[in-house]
Structure 1
Amino acid sequence: MSVGKRATGGFQPLAEINVTPLVDVMLVLLIIFMVTAPMMAAGMKVDLPQAHSAKPLNPKEPVVITIAKGGKLMLNADEVPLDRLVDAVRAKVNGDLAHVIHLRGDKDAAIGDMVALMDRLSSHGLTHIAILSKREAPAKEAKGAGK
């Protein structure tokens, strides 16, 4: 910190920020990250062969079955009766039994209806079923709970 002369004869400190140490630290960190970044790359480098007849993969549209509180079933956006559900799902997955089926159920739907639906699908070879849920933010701790 430097001091300067005041017009009245006293001394007053000069408030100046010295950014040189900050710049030095940032440059050192930049060099460290530049040196270590190539070492952090996972995997092995390979030279991939060219395939002239290769086509890009189309992402699979998910098959979503929704069961409502009253037992009403929806396949994607279409309402489907329970007796025709398996055939409709098979038509959507085009015979791919490894295709994942997303099962959404209302929180007030009977668990028995969901289990029966999963049993019906798995008995027909559709065993890759994922149950979807809504993720909620974690509850905040109550302030002053321990007081």
Structure 2
Amino acid sequence: MAIGGPNGGDGGDDLEMPGGIFADINITPLTDIFLVLLIIFMVTTTAIAEAGRDEGGFKVNLPKGGKGETSAVARDVTVAVLADGRAVVGGKVQDDAELRRAFTEARERSPETVVLFQADEGVPHGRVVQVMELARAAGLSRLAIATRAEQ
């Protein structure tokens, strides 16, 4: 569609008007910008969501229980024990030697550090006790177990 032909009028057919101004809007660059922004938002929100979780994105199905009176403090350590028995601290899966080192570092920062255990319902009780004993052997005596509130 041409606007404003040389005679000042409509100008008739577009083929007759080689010098007309086209008013078509090309939305391809706009679409490209929106797709790039969508990808950027998807990547950044995923990174932000993963960084904000203590267990590093691991799903732990906590058992139900009553509410306690504990509140998380910045110096506390959260240990997630997954259904297959792996232990996660700070978003990283750790073996027993790394757990001992993490507990020792936590005790050196503050002897009053609370270790919060988030154990999946399917984890054998012995594995949870084994991880708790690693914390006690490192000198941490304030241990807590996380549960879901009953609904």
Bigger radius of gyration: 1
**Which of structures 1 and 2 has the larger relative contact order (alpha carbons within 8 angstroms, sep 6+)?**
2
TM-score (norm 1): 0.49
Q: Which structure has greater helix proportion?
A: 2
